[in-house]
Structure 1
Amino acid sequence: MKKLRIFGIAFFFLSANSRAQEARRLTLQQAEALFLQQNYLLLAQRYQVSADEALVQQAKLWDNPSFSSTFGFGTLEKVQPFNMGSGGQFEGDIDQLIRLAGKRNKQVQLAQWNAATSAAAFNELMRTLRLQLRTSYYQLYFLKETEKVLKEQLNNLQIILDAYHAADAKGSVAHADVIRLQALQIGIANDYTDLRQQELAASENLQMILGSPGPVEPLVEGDVLQQYKLNGYTEQALTDTALANRPDLQMAGHQLKMAEANYRLQKAMAVPDLHLGATYDRNGSYAPHFIGLTMGIDLPLWNRNQGNIKAAGSSLKVQGAALDQQRLAIAVEVNTALRKISFLEKSTGWPDIKSFNGEYDKLIDEVAKNFRKGNISLLQFIDYFNSYSDHVKHTNKFLNDRVLAYEELNYATGTQLFNTVQ
């Protein structure tokens, strides 16, 4: 069992190292460039924008004229198919639909607002996916930072265990101490396994967003925390920024404009359109080669588009309420994001994390050395080791939460207030 467990841990490290070597290392700038080029959802939405812009051009086109004709087939007494000679008959009619009450212009306006909504939907999708990208990117980064420490702990612990196994075989240490160290190893290995599972999930999300078939690994240069500061932004200023830049609010505004344009169009549809045309009759009229002007119009006796007009009016009220709701949601989201940042930044009484981590790293190294020399007890060593593992996991989680809190404020305002991509 002992050999099997050691083999399992060794295989896990080898497979982890293999995956790490295969991973493509990307800075956030490189990741976002890849995201803009290869994300399939963005590509699909771009095609949708192009399709809706094409509909604007379609709405500007006039209706095609229609042509009809009658060919002479003689009489019942004498059938002469397609008899169009001197004694035959031919009649031709051409008709053009003339839309009245500005229907064509109103259809163009409706198509234009629909295209504008589609463009805003593209920006909204990009805003949402960018948050997901950065969430997965930084989550994977901080998980990797924790993994480095846990892997080093396991390596150091394995060295100590090997020495204890040799000493146990000679009878110079208590076998119970070996069991306690093995239990500590299993606990840390279990934490490492859980961590790797979280890494795989974050890596999978990142690959999907980037459209990358292979794994990627964050390459963060410098202190990422220094790039995230409020810099005196007030809640009102941030709310105003969000109201001016949020693409989902722009979508709601465009949808209201669409509803207004549709309401005007449906009212215009109650006005009948005019059919204007010309006719030619070779021998069927009172005079040979007759030509005439034709005009026609529907009589709005029963159908005056009442239902569509009422429905369009109700939709207009719906979109107005949706726009008000979106404004409220934006204010709440900005407030919530600021409160989250404020809560995380109130840890001013805590030690400086960077310097504290350095001191803690030195401390745990000294603990391991002193334990091997027999200067501290097994219980003290286990306590230090567990405490250090918890500290590393909690610290990196806190740092990840802090970065993502600022990214959520970016998301809430619809801008890049804390743009780490230079």
Structure 2
Amino acid sequence: MRTIRMLLLAACGTCLGFIQPTQAQNSVQTVTLQSVEDSFLVKNYLLLAQRYQIDASKALVRQAKMWSNPSFSTVLGFGSTDKLKPFNVGSGGETQYNIDQLIQTAGKRNKAIQLAATATKMSEANFDELIRTLRLQLRENVYNIYYQQQTEKVLKEQLGNLQTIVDAYVTADKKGSVAHADLVRLQALQVGIENDFADLKQQELESQKNLQQLLHSQDFYAADIKPADLAPYTLDKIQLPQLLEAASKNRADVRMADLQYQTAQLNYRLQKSLAVPDLHVGATYDKQGSYVNNFVGLTLGIDLPVWNRNQGNIHAAKLQINSEQQQLLQQQSVAQTEVLNAYQRIVVLEKRYKGFDLHQFQGEFDTLIAEVSKNFSKGNISLLQFIDYFNSYSDNAKNINKFLSNRVNAYEELNYATGQELFKN
């Protein structure tokens, strides 16, 4: 029986490192957060597509600056009703040429240019919004992978040590030197930890899948996060009122709503200008169909706004301004609410983080496990008590890493809510 206890003590002693680095498999690529972000910016298909959209919008601005093409028409003589002479354009025939240029009035062309320029800004804001959303997903998955893998190391190490203990108990059980019920309890503990490891592995695979989709890669990743990478995550020097004000003005989705409002205003001015008739200016040449041969004249034309003065479009554009204004106010309110909630979440987590030294606690827990092992080897505690402590060790690792993951992701959500990079080295 003492031999079994010594095996337990030796196995438990190897667990005390809490998180020991293990070599990654060859199929796993070790990456830093910065390297992942650099790859993301050049590989993500959605970002590449949105860049093309920005270029397309800029091309439409150039198009809006162009003048309308002149129109040309001709009349070719066919004789008269008394005597048809198709294409009679010779010395005794008739030809006529007309050229016409549309001159837009009431600043229609400039207003169309302004609308196209606003559409370009909208495409750029869409790009920023896409980056804002995808960067949050990217960082959350990188941090999730890191902390999940840290917990996996603990559980994997525990399973290896526990397997050694179970094997020893199986041998001792065959010899009748241990109670069979003790073996069953250890095997139940083993099954529980294996289930925890399998569940955690599924969570990591989900994070891996999300990261692979963002990077369009089939590689698996091991995140390399240094303490210096986590150091900037603090609320020191962060002022909530300034964050609320900045988010209500500068966040990409708020800028998009503001640009929609500006577009509605520009469209209203454009629709009003469309009620003003455009001018047609041109020239005409008539070989011999006028009162003099080789007649040359200036042509002027204008539409008469008798029935259609664009009344419906003007009224609709005016109502659209009111609609977009309310949408802008709504988006500003949403942005401020998200910032406030993200900030308060960090405040709650930081109270626990600062009021409870996790690293010190882990060291004390390691010492406790060592003392438990010594007392078990001396027969001062039962197997059930030892199993309880052994099980608590894995729970402690899971809870701590989950808390640390939640904390850093809460800071990233504040980045997302404000649309700013608040926490940089």
1-structure distance, mates of 2:144, 2:368: 27
1:216 corresponds to 2:216: no
Once the 2 structures are TM-superposed, how far is the Cα of residue 407 of structure 1 from its aligned partner? Answer: 1.1
1:391 corresponds to 2:392: no
CA pair 368-77 structure 1, distance change in 2 beyond 3 A: farther
1-structure distance, mates of 2:91, 2:126: 65
1:100 corresponds to 2:100: no
CA pair 274-43 structure 1, distance change in 2 beyond 3 A: same
Correspondence for 1:340 among 345, 349, 360: 345
| Counterpart contact for 1:133–1:206, Cα < 8 Å | yes
Letter in 1 for 2:188: A
Question: Residue 196 of structure 1 corresponds to which residue in structure 2?
Answer: 201
Once the 2 structures are TM-superposed, how far is the Cα of residue 77 of structure 1 from its aligned partner? Answer: 5.8
2-structure distance, mates of 1:409, 1:145: 25
1:263 corresponds to 2:268: yes
| Counterpart contact for 1:83–1:89, Cα < 8 Å | yes
Question: Residue 238 of structure 2 corresponds to which residue in structure 1?
Answer: 233
CA pair 365-96 structure 1, distance change in 2 beyond 3 A: farther
SS in 1 for 2:51: helix
SS in 2 for 1:296: strand
Question: Residue 131 of structure 1 corresponds to which residue in structure 2?
Answer: 136
Correspondence for 2:127 among 122, 125, 138: 122
Letter in 2 for 1:69: T
Deviations 1:151-203 (A, max 9, x none): 11111110101111111121111222212111111111111111111001111
| Counterpart contact for 2:282–2:300, Cα < 8 Å | yes
Name the stretch that deviates more: 407-416 or 346-355: 346-355
| Counterpart contact for 1:337–1:412, Cα < 8 Å | yes
Question: Residue 189 of structure 2 corresponds to which residue in structure 1?
Answer: 184
2-structure distance, mates of 1:348, 1:276: 77
Letter in 2 for 1:335: L
Correspondence for 1:318 among 308, 315, 323: 323
2-structure distance, mates of 1:368, 1:241: 56
SS in 2 for 1:293: strand
Unaligned runs of 5+ in 1: 1-16
Question: Residue 175 of structure 1 corresponds to which residue in structure 2?
Answer: 180
Once the 2 structures are TM-superposed, how far is the Cα of residue 364 of structure 1 from its aligned partner? Answer: 3.6
SS in 2 for 1:286: coil
1:252 corresponds to 2:257: yes
| Counterpart contact for 1:71–1:83, Cα < 8 Å | yes
SS in 1 for 2:145: helix
Deviations 1:299-321 (A, max 9, x none): 11111111111111111111111
2-structure distance, mates of 1:18, 1:69: 83
Name the stretch that deviates more: 275-284 or 52-61: 275-284
CA pair 27-148 structure 1, distance change in 2 beyond 3 A: same
CA pair 358-289 structure 1, distance change in 2 beyond 3 A: same
Correspondence for 2:335 among 330, 334, 348: 330
Question: Residue 205 of structure 1 corresponds to which residue in structure 2?
Answer: 210
Correspondence for 1:159 among 140, 144, 164: 164
SS in 2 for 1:284: coil
| Counterpart contact for 2:96–2:284, Cα < 8 Å | yes
CA pair 223-188 structure 1, distance change in 2 beyond 3 A: farther
Name the stretch that deviates more: 365-374 or 399-408: 365-374
CA pair 18-343 structure 1, distance change in 2 beyond 3 A: closer
Once the 2 structures are TM-superposed, how far is the Cα of residue 207 of structure 1 from its aligned partner? Answer: 1.4
Once the 2 structures are TM-superposed, how far is the Cα of residue 284 of structure 1 from its aligned partner? Answer: 2.2
| Counterpart contact for 1:98–1:273, Cα < 8 Å | yes
SS in 2 for 1:61: coil
Question: Residue 8 of structure 1 corresponds to which residue in structure 2?
Answer: none
| Counterpart contact for 2:70–2:102, Cα < 8 Å | yes
Correspondence for 1:308 among 300, 313, 317: 313
Once the 2 structures are TM-superposed, how far is the Cα of residue 69 of structure 1 from its aligned partner? Answer: 1.2
Letter in 1 for 2:332: R
Once the 2 structures are TM-superposed, how far is the Cα of residue 21 of structure 1 from its aligned partner? Answer: 2.9
SS in 2 for 1:233: coil
Name the stretch that deviates more: 87-96 or 222-231: 222-231
Question: Residue 280 of structure 2 corresponds to which residue in structure 1?
Answer: 275
2-structure distance, mates of 1:403, 1:133: 13
| Counterpart contact for 2:145–2:223, Cα < 8 Å | yes
Question: Residue 418 of structure 2 corresponds to which residue in structure 1?
Answer: 413
Name the stretch that deviates more: 147-156 or 339-348: 339-348
Letter in 2 for 1:321: Q
Unaligned runs of 5+ in 2: 1-21
Once the 2 structures are TM-superposed, how far is the Cα of residue 83 of structure 1 from its aligned partner? Answer: 3.0
Deviations 1:196-241 (A, max 9, x none): 1100111111111223232222111226543211113221122233
2-structure distance, mates of 1:283, 1:373: 128
| Counterpart contact for 1:147–1:195, Cα < 8 Å | yes
1-structure distance, mates of 2:23, 2:46: 31
- Residue pairs, 1:42-57, within 5 angstroms: 42-57=47-62
Question: Residue 243 of structure 1 corresponds to which residue in structure 2?
Answer: 248
Aligned-pair RMSD on alpha carbons? 2.1
| Counterpart contact for 1:154–1:188, Cα < 8 Å | yes
Once the 2 structures are TM-superposed, how far is the Cα of residue 374 of structure 1 from its aligned partner? Answer: 5.8
Once the 2 structures are TM-superposed, how far is the Cα of residue 79 of structure 1 from its aligned partner? Answer: 4.7
| Counterpart contact for 1:281–1:291, Cα < 8 Å | yes
Deviations 1:353-403 (A, max 9, x none): 112223324544665676577664220122112211211111111111111
1:288 corresponds to 2:293: yes
Question: Residue 6 of structure 2 corresponds to which residue in structure 1?
Answer: none
Question: Residue 44 of structure 2 corresponds to which residue in structure 1?
Answer: 39
| Counterpart contact for 2:24–2:222, Cα < 8 Å | no
Count of residue pairs brought into register by the alignment: 404
2-structure distance, mates of 1:352, 1:243: 36
TM-score by length of 1: 0.90
CA pair 22-369 structure 1, distance change in 2 beyond 3 A: farther
